[in-house]
Structure 1
Amino acid sequence: MLRRSGLQALQALLELARHGQQWSSVSAIATAQELPAPMLEQLLLQLRRAELVESRRGRQGGYRLSRAPEAIPVAEVLDAVGAPLQLSEGPAEGSDGRAETQVLQSMGQRLQNAIERELKQLTLQELLFDLESWKEYLSNEGGLMLG
């Protein structure tokens, strides 16, 4: 359902979101998220072209979010790296002329539309909240799972 490039782009952006307006190098992001640096660099270039991140060269450079995490919908991230969430395709429309086929195709389209609506509303900020909640829950001290 979700392509690897989409997952990795979201991982990278969550790492940047955790650091606020600080610049983060490709190697720091790759290490923190256990991602291959060359692939990550390509994803970050795509995200920069989509104006989701900004970059700065030099010793104190790197990448950071170009907008606040609450202003970045997940759908936009997935689109930026060419990894929109898609349900698996069924038979071609009207392929066998059966009413059952039409009903199931209609259901599939309704589900796809619902997924697209949700991804347009779900923001990086919400994922960051979930991430921090899970980290707290999984820590040695336990904690309360929120959200």
Structure 2
Amino acid sequence: MLTRAGTIALRALVELARSPQSVLSGPELAKRQELPEARLEQILLQLRQAHLIEARRGRRGGYRLSRRADDLSVQEVLDAVGGRRQLSLEIESAEGAVGQAGQRLEQQLQQRLQRAMERELSELSVAELLFDQRSWEASLDPDQGLMLG
């Protein structure tokens, strides 16, 4: 469902959301999220062109979110980088009336699933993904408890 570009973009934005006032360089983002640096730079350019992040030049330059993580939907991010594949069910062709009705039913189901996924992605924010990541990190650390929200 997600392309590699979509996954990289979301991981980068979650890292930027972790310290919203900070400016992080591409190499630092790549290191923190264990992402391929060259591919990340291409994706950061797309995110900047979509006005989801801001770039600062210079020795202390880098990237930061252009607005609050609560206001960035996963759908926006994925749309900016071509980050998802269309849901596709295998639909067999049919000849008879019953077979054609069944085929139409399968097509309708596919359309409903696609709309439900788009609705969910538009309501899910980068801030929620950050919360999920922090919860996973806490659950992996034996000295910390599990974050529940």
What's the TM-score once normalised by structure 1's chain length? 0.92
Can you list the C-alpha shifts for 1:85-140, whole angstroms capped at 9, x where unaligned? 42125449xx5351111101101110000000000000001111111111111112
1: CA distance between counterparts of 2:85 and 2:69?
Answer: 20
**One-letter amino acid matched to 1:36:** P
Larger radius of gyration: 2
For the 8 Å contact 2:14–2:130, the answer to whether it is kept is yes
How many positions carry a matched residue from both structures?
145
Structure 1: runs of 5 or more not aligned = none
Give 1:31's aligned residue.
31
Q: List alignment gaps of at least 5 residues for structure 2.
A: none
Q: What amino acid does structure 2 have at the position aligned with 1:96?
A: A
Pairing partner for 1:110 from 93, 103, 112: 112
Structure 2 match to 1:144? 146
Shift of 1:143: 1.1
Tell me if structure 2 keeps the 8 A contact 1:23–1:63: yes
Counterpart position of 2:94: 96
SS of structure 2 residue aligned to 1:27: helix
Aligned amino acid, residue 51 of structure 1 = H
Distance of aligned partners of 1:81 and 1:50 in 2 relative to their CA distance in 1, 3 Å threshold: same
Distance 2:88 2:148 in 1: 32
Q: CA deviation at 1:82?
A: 1.1
Identity across the alignment (%): 54
User: Which residue identity is paired with 1:119?
Assistant: L
Equivalents in 2 of 1:20, 1:142: separation in Å?
24
Q: CA deviation at 1:141?
A: 1.5
Identify the residue that residue 120 of structure 1 maps to in structure 2. 122
Runs of 4+ in 1 over 3 A off after TM superposition: 89-92
Aligned to 2:10: 10
RMSD: 1.5
State the match for 1:83 in structure 2.
83
TM-score when scaled to structure 2? 0.91
Q: Alpha-carbon deviation of 1:20? A: 1.3
Is the Cα–Cα contact under 8 Å of residues 73 and 123 in structure 1 kept in the other structure? Answer: yes
